[in-house]
Amino acid sequence: MSASNPCLSCGACCAHFRVSFYWGECQSGGGLVPDELVVQISPQRVAMLGTETRPVRCTALQGTVGEQVACSNYACRSSTCREFTASWEDGQANPHCDKARAAYGLPPLGPEHWPDRLDCQHIIVE
Whole-number pLDDT of residue 3: 53
How does DSSP classify residue 80? H
End-to-end CA distance of the chain: 33
Residues of the chain with pLDDT under 70: 1-3, 117-126
Whole-number pLDDT of residue 117: 66
Q: Does 78 reside within a domain?
A: yes
Q: Does 43 reside within a domain?
A: yes
Strand partners, 39: 47
Q: Does 33 reside within a domain?
A: yes
Q: Does 16 reside within a domain?
A: yes
Q: Does 115 reside within a domain?
A: yes
Strand partners, 64: 68
Structural domain including 68 reads 6-122
Task: Give the number of C-alpha atoms closer than 13 A to the C-alpha of residue 89, restricted to the C-beta side.
Answer: 17
Give CA 63 to chain center in angstroms: 14
Question: Is the distance from CB of 103 to CB of 16 less than 8 angstroms?
Answer: yes
How many domains would you assign to the chain? 1
Q: Does 1 reside within a domain?
A: no
Whole-number pLDDT of residue 115: 82
